[in-house]
Amino acid sequence: MTPSLHTLWQATVRRRSDDRAIQLAENGPGVTFRELATRAEHWAALHLDGIGDAVRSTAVVFSAPQGPGWFEIFLGLISRQAVVVCLDPAEPITAQRRLAADLRAGFLWHGAGLEALPSPRRFRDPSIRLIKLTSGSTGRPRPLPFSDAQMAADGRQVTGTMGITSRDLNYALIPLGHSYGLGNLSIPLIVQGIPLVIGSAPLPHAIAADFARWRPSVFPGVPALWRALAASEVTLPGLRLAISAGAPLDPAVAALFLQRFGQPLHSFYGSSETGGITYDRTGRGGLEGHVGTAMKGVRLTLQPGRRLSVSSAAVLTLGNRRRREGHGAWLMADRVDLDASGRVRLLGRRGTTVKLAGRRLDLGEVAARLRRLAGVSDVWVGVSDDREPVLGAAVASERDRAALRAELAADTPAWKVPKKWVVVPALPITERGKIDAAQIRQRLFGPPDSAVQP
């Protein structure tokens, strides 16, 4: 029988008892593994034991700031066999309640305490331990239930492939409860005892100060952070492994980072449904435009339409019809190129064809044309929701909009040239490190004065 996350955590505490588990970069003493376990048990006894087994196999939605307190709640919930759902602390309480109701959660934890909810669902499979939520870019977030074994497998596949051990110190700026943070930070701490320091702020000078004081060795980040650091004059003492995921890495940023810091950015590709998929072991992927090869324990097969099928012990199986040899298998929406060496290049997402003025248009084609323009580092392309859709583009560049539009129009049919533009130094991103499509859409297609007209 596969050990539960709680059982694996107890083994970690016995093994690493008085070693530092979590350190807040800005202030205060850190907490040891023993102290964190004691605090988590105290939280569970105080808030959960009075309601009996009502949380067992029931979803509990919670939000908390990054830090030991986040782990106290997470570990307290898994110790009582709850199904954990992690939300961003900035999410309004009304939105948290609405999402909890959609999930048929039993409880919601927020600043005021534990709130019981009506009509909870109890999972029949007692091994289900966590629900990830998709980004919700195409509608309401979709729940993805994972078992103890799948979560542990993802953490082990990540650390085993990347060569991260308990001798390392992870630097935590990405959210602990998102798929990237769970696989690279939270689960490795729980299962393998890999400690972490909680970053003070996602700004170059703050990151540099954290590194000067605590010297973390591993930094999983997103392209926007790497872009800001590469353009700065700071140093990162102690860093041995820099990982980029969450969005495509601009080769120019990868090259500048290598020049500035003398070490490469390692591209990492994964998804909420699968956990980690590929990793660039050489550090050349960001420069060459690929995201590496399959991670340890992951099997990749190329399917019709250049879609990638991913199979591993970390892929979700509940409600997944593509099970294979006891593992989940997931067919990615991304279109890819898989070469003879097993390297994966991302070609864009499937399903980006829209109808514009009676003609079909592949938004990926427009985005690719824009990315080929000089001085363009990132692109978002979409259409408005009007009865007669309008094509719009947000472009990350220091160049003038008129110059970009003229260069695109020189070899692009007029109907494929965006009618509305936003040109900014960097595209806005969400806390997950992905392009903030909602914010861009508001600027492009919202009130007339919010978008830059041609």
Rounded Cα distance between 295 and 277, Å, is 6
Closest residue by Cα to residue 394 from 432, 360, 426: 426
Residue 14 resides in a domain? yes
Residue 72 resides in a domain? yes
Domain boundary (87, 118, 146) is at 146
Q: What is the mean pLDDT of the chain?
A: 90
Residue-wise pLDDT for 302-346, tens only, equals: 999 899 999 999 999 887 666 665 678 999 988 899 999 999 999
Could you give the 3-state DSSP secondary structure of residue 347? strand
Domain boundary (112, 146, 180) is at 146
Identify the weakest region by mean pLDDT among 184-188, 297-301, 350-354: 350-354
What six digits make up the tokens of 72? Answer: 């106290």
Domain boundary (117, 146, 175) is at 146
Predicted pLDDT at 454: 40
Residue 395: pLDDT band (50, 70, 90) is very high
> Rounded to whole angstroms, what are the CA distances from 184 to 9, 189, 261, 433?
16, 9, 22, 14
Residue-wise pLDDT for 154-182, tens only, equals: 999 999 999 999 999 999 999 999 999 99
449 has a pLDDT exceeding 60 = no
For residue 116, the enclosing domain spans 1-146
40 has a pLDDT exceeding 60 = yes
Residue 223 resides in a domain? no
Closest residue by Cα to residue 178 from 168, 170, 189, 186: 186
393 has a pLDDT exceeding 50 = yes
> Quick one: what percent of the chain has pLDDT higher than 70?
93
Residue 275 resides in a domain? no
Could you give the 3-state DSSP secondary structure of residue 54? coil
Residue-wise pLDDT for 69-84, tens only, equals: 999 999 999 999 999 9
Backbone angles phi, psi at 113, to 5 degrees: 120, -160
If one compares 377 and 157, the residue with the highest pLDDT of the two is 157
Listing DSSP states for 180-207 in one string gives: HHIIIIIHIIIII---EEE-S-SSHHHH
Residue 121 resides in a domain? yes
256 has a pLDDT exceeding 90 = yes
Residue-wise pLDDT for 434-447, tens only, equals: 788 889 999 999 86
Identify the weakest region by mean pLDDT among 119-133, 212-226, 434-448: 434-448
Rounded Cα distance between 248 and 254, Å, is 11
Domain count, the chain: 2
| CATH number of the domain residue 399 falls in | 3.30.300.30
Predicted pLDDT at 420: 93
| CATH number of the domain residue 11 falls in | 3.40.50.980
Rounded Cα distance between 408 and 417, Å, is 7
Residue-wise pLDDT for 20-37, tens only, equals: 999 999 887 799 999 999
Identify the weakest region by mean pLDDT among 195-204, 263-272, 404-413: 404-413
pTM for this prediction: 0.83
Let me know the angle formed at the C-alpha of 195 by 78 and 182, rounded to the nearest 5 degrees.
Answer: 45
Rounded Cα distance between 350 and 107, Å, is 37
Predicted pLDDT at 326: 63
